[in-house]
Structure formats: C-alpha cells, structure tokens
Amino acid sequence: MVRQLSVFIQNKSGKIASVTRTLYQNGIDIRALSVADTADFGILRMLVSDVEKARTALANENCIVSVNEVDVVAVPDRPGGTAEVLQILADANIDIEYMYSLIDRGTSDAYMVFRLSDEANTNNVLEELGLKTVPGKMLGLN
Amino acid sequence: MNRMYQPEIETASREEMKALQTERLINTVKRVYENVPHYRKKMEEKGVTPEDIKTVDDLYKLPFNYKQDLRDTYPYGMFAVPMKDVVRLHASSGTTGKQIVVGYTEKDMDIWADCCARALTAAGCTDEDMVHVSYGYGLFTGGLGADGGALKLGATAIPVSSGNTQRQVTILKDFGSTILCCTPSYALHIAETMQSLGVTKDDIKLKAGVFGAEPWTNEMRHQIEDMLGIKAFDIYGLTEIIGPGVGFECEEQTGMHINEDHFIVEVIDPDTGEVLPEGTQGELVFSCITKEAFPILRYRTRDIGVITREKCSCGRTLVKMTKPRGRTDDMLIIRGVNVFPSQIETVLIEKGYTANYQIVVDRANNFDSIEVRVELSPENFRDTVKGLDKMAKELSEGLKVILGINAKVVLMEPNSIPRSEGKAVRVIDKRKLLD
C-alpha cells in the first residue's frame, strides 16, 4: 500500500495555494492530487515525494494533516482499462471510499489511487483479485 | 484552618454573620440615604426609610439597582464619599453599552485586597508563591484586583498583564510563576501557545490557577488543568460590586463562597423581583455593606445561580453560590429557546473538541439560525467526507439534546477562531445588526 497525505481545507480563498506553497518551499514534489469538496470544507489528498517531511511542514503551519494508506493500481492505458478494473471490484462487492488518477510518464500503464471501504482496505485484497498494485517506491514516493 | 486567609470570618457562625451583616447594612443604608440623592430618591419612591431596616432580613424592602442606574448617574452620581476620599477609579469595558465607573476609598482598596487574598489562599497560595497576573492591568478590575490580593498575602506579584502570549510563556518558565490569574479562555490560549513552543507542563512550576471574569464550564476546567498540570479555581466578581473577589472557590470546588461579611447575596425571581428560598435558581442580587465610595445596594447582576448556606467540607460557613451558568445578558434566545454559550461548551468538550468555539446567530425570513464553529484537532481529523460529516452530525445531535434546537456545526482549522487575551468573544449575533 501507499501512504497518502490528507489535509483539512477550510472554505476560504487561497488555502490550497498556501498548502502547495508550503510543500514547494520544502522541496516536496506532488505526484497526484485530488480535492473532495463539500459546502463547508474540503479534503485535499495527495501522494507526495516525502510524506513525513510534508506532514511535519504542514503541521508546523497549523494545518490538520493525516497520513492514510491507499492502494495504487496499474490500469491499462487504453479505452476500457478503468472500466475493467472497476468491474472486478464491483463483482467482488468491494466498496470504494474515494478514488483518483495518477499519470506516470514513460510507462504504458495509467494508475488509479483507491481508498477502499474500511473492511476491504487491507494489504492484499486487490492482489487476490489479480489486480496489479504498485509500491510507492516505483512512483518515486517515500 | 488550612487555606484560609481570615478564618475567624470565613468560619463564623450563622448568628455571628447575621449580626455583623445587620450592623453593617444599617450603617450603609443610613449613609447612602443621607449622602446620595439617587438612593434617597429611590427609597422615597418605594416608601422606605432607613428606620425600616432593622435587621438584615429587612433587606428585601430596599429598591433594586440596575446597570441602567449606573449609566443614568454616570460618572459619579452613585458615589457616597467626596471625590477627595476616592483613591482609585475603575471602569467596566462598556462592551454591552455605555461604560460605567466605580470608585474606591483607601479602606475599600483594603477590603478588596482581603477578598482577593482569601480567594488566592483558598487556591493554595501563600507568601512563598509567585502570582502571575495575566488579567489586563488598567481600568479593568481583573489585573489590579488580583495584584492587590497577592500583595496583601505577601506573595510575589508578577504584573504581566494580558497579551504577548509567547512572552507569557517565557515568564512562566523563567520566573517560575506558581499561581496564574487570568480569564479561563486566556489560560487555554497560554496553554496552547506553550504546546506550540514545545514547552511542556514539566518545564513550568505552576500549581494552581485562579480564573474568572467570564463564565466557563467544568469541562473547560479539566482541559486547562490537564494542559497546564494545575488545579484550576474559579473566582467571581463584578466591577459594580468590587471586581474579582466577590466570591471564590475552595478546594472542595462545590460552588463559590461569597465574602458575605462584605457583600450580601440574595436570589430573586427575575420577573417578579421576589426573594426566592435557598436552593432555588434565580438571579443573583448583591448588596455592598462595607464599601465607602461605591456601596451599591441590591444590585441586579443578571447572573443566574443557586445559593446554599450548608456548611462546606472545607470548614467555611460563608454562603456558597453555584458557578453561574452565565449572565442573562449572555443568554441567547433562539426561536424562543434560551441558550447559554456554556451549554454549548459543555457538549463540545464532552465530544472531544477544544473550548475554542464561536457561536454565530443570524436571522433570515424571520427564522433564527445558530451556527457553532469549532476547531478540529489533528487527533479527530478523518480523511473522508463521510467521516467529517458524521462528526459534525454527532456534534449537532449532541447540541440538540442539550439545547432542544438544531444547530449547524462548522468544522474549522486550528487557530482560525480568534483568541482573546481577556474575555472571549463567544457569540456573534448578527440579528442585532438588523435592528
């Protein structure tokens, strides 16, 4: 599994800019990013080059940060690639809490980041279904 | 008689106390009737003369005084001595209207210092302690009041005043402060600042805090005690009566002892003005019976509480009042329901939030809305929308149980709610702007 950084985002302008600026100032690369938004708040989720360093830097700026485990799955980069993966999960009755995508240059695969429901969020569920999970190292994540 | 500054008074029998109060009340009523047109006029309107006050039980015959009376006679119309005898003036902040001003003679200052010394002593302060006063020094009674008590005790007063919170932490650490005096919300802010500076409770020598000037809950008390590694005591007071030191908690913490040799307390029905029996909740009314410059009688505090004369396990016989739930001035009426900020605070802390919160009340289409803004902490952050929504919903449900109305909960980032260095601003009532 891969460690993901989540940041609580209060609804006010400039907040995401300030988070990304802090990461930049600490020399941290953002490899994937997604925002969950509601009327009152948002959650910024990221895969970054150095999760511990990012966590410390943001916590020092009074951000609310947590580190969670997610799965990164290689998906064939062609029409139907994502649909096939999601069908496998659907057939196995596995619920997805949230997902977003990640592109890595120079491979024939695309990647999907999955946070499965709490019951399914274990190490080898996806492997057992024959899906190809990718370790963080391969994506340049520490 | 441990932890008592004036044990002969603090443990006096009910009869002794009543005799003392009777003598002092009679003198004060006579004095204000003769010297202050305001009191004479009010008494004449009610058909009462000083001769009608024969014992302390006749107190109910006297007319009430309200904050409005202080405003109407502003600045010096209720002073009972010539200005040349007044050695000190203090004023209320005027946050709920025009400011009011009160005066003290040299003897009044001495009484005030005694009252605060009793409060400090009850919190475990002796002449060997270092009393760190972070109430504002100035017209506000908090700073100089606590300072006077510390001096009277022979402790070391550290007049830090409020503000510059990082420096407060440095002083706590370097000077070795053992007793902290400030508002409870500022104590919490100091504790948070300590944490952010990496100063732990083992790095400081504080053992107790005497906190007051705003209503606070027991839940907030435990939070402060935990963060600072101290025992936290409540102190009660009003500028109109004398400032801090009207009442104070002993180590039993089952209410606040009132310094009733100086201030007589009554509990009345706020609607009818009738005196209520002991043990019944009502509005607290105070009469000053020893003060020379500003001896206000039957002052309507708007504070809601209950009193008991049962002897306390600490040994004191001084009448006790419950920790006021809040002033009726602080009470919000939302859709016809009475809501005290302290009720909301209780729920927040029970649910694992901090006491950093703000209540926003608004009105749209004649419908009141209440929003409770509360800061998230890293420990209770969930990384899913579902998780955070659930937290907000649980909090909202908890509030509904206590308040009986639906409140919207908004989760905020740490430090996004402004910190106060004095009395916390808990409520933003936008409805008032529309009037």
- CATH number of B345's domain: 3.30.300.30
Q: Is the pLDDT of residue B96 over 60?
A: no
Share of residues in chain B with pLDDT > 70 (%): 97
Q: Distances from the Cα of B337 to the Cαs of B89, B366, B431, in angstroms?
A: 39, 15, 15
| pLDDT of amino acid B354 | 84
Q: Spell out which residues of chain B touch residue A6, defining contact as CB-CB under 8 Å.
A: 381, 383
The verdict on B101 and B12 lying in the same domain is: yes
Q: What is the mean pLDDT of residues B387-400?
A: 92
Query: Per-residue confidence at B295, pLDDT binned at 50, 70, 90?
Result: very high
A43–B383 C-beta distance less than 8 A: yes
pLDDT of residue B1: 46
When the pLDDT of each residue in chain B is averaged and rounded to a whole number, the result is 92
Q: Is the pLDDT of residue A76 over 90?
A: no
Residue A47: is its pLDDT beyond 80? yes
What percent of chain B shows pLDDT beyond 90?
72
Cα distances (Å, whole numbers) of residue B368 to B76, B363, B430: 40, 4, 10
Higher pLDDT, B435 or B429: B429
CA distance A108 to chain B (A): 31
Residue B114 sits in the same domain as residue B143: yes
Among B278, B299, B328, which residue terminates a domain? Answer: B328
In terms of domains, do B303 and B336 share one?
no
Residues B112 and B54 in one domain: yes
For residue B155, the enclosing domain spans: 1-328
User: Does one domain contain both B83 and B116?
Assistant: yes
Number of domains in chain B: 2
Residues counted in chain A: 142
Task: Examine the domain organization and report whether B165 and B17 are in the same domain.
Answer: yes
- What does pLDDT average to over chain A? 90
Instruction: Give the lowest-confidence range in A101-110, B129-138, B140-149.
Output: A101-110
Residue B434, pLDDT > 60, answer no
Same-domain check for residues B155 and B223: yes
Taking residues B367-395, report their average pLDDT. 90
Are B186 and B312 members of one domain?
A: yes
Q: Report ipTM for this prediction.
A: 0.83
Contacts of A63 in chain B (CB under 8 A): 413
Strand extents, DSSP E, B105-207? 130-133, 156-158, 179-182
Pairing of strands B282-288, B263-268: antiparallel
pLDDT of amino acid B388: 92
Chain A positions touching B415 (Cβ under 8 A) are 62
What CATH number was assigned to the domain covering residues A70-139? 3.30.70.260
Residue B340 above 80 pLDDT?
Answer: yes
Domain coordinates in residue numbering, chain A: 2-68, 70-139
Report the percent of chain A where pLDDT is more than 90. 60
Residues of A with CB under 8 A from a CB of B: 6, 8, 10, 36, 38, 40-41, 43, 45, 59, 62-66, 68, 97-98, 115
Residue at a domain's end among B305, B328, B351: B328
* Residue B358 and residue B267 in one domain: no
**Whole-structure pTM value:** 0.78
**Domain finish residue from B303, B328, B353:** B328
- Does one domain contain both B370 and B292? no
Confidence of residue B73 (pLDDT cuts 50, 70, 90): very high
Q: Residue B156 belongs to a domain with what CATH number? A: 3.40.50.12780
Selected residue of B197, B390, B413 to mutate for chain A interface (largest A Cβ count, 10 A): B413
Phi first, then psi: what are they for A63, rounded to 5°?
A: -85, 150
Q: Look up the CATH architecture of domain A2-68.
A: 2-Layer Sandwich (3.30)
Q: Find chain A residues with C-beta within 8 A of B377's C-beta.
A: 64
Task: Say if residue B58 is in the same domain as residue B176.
Answer: yes
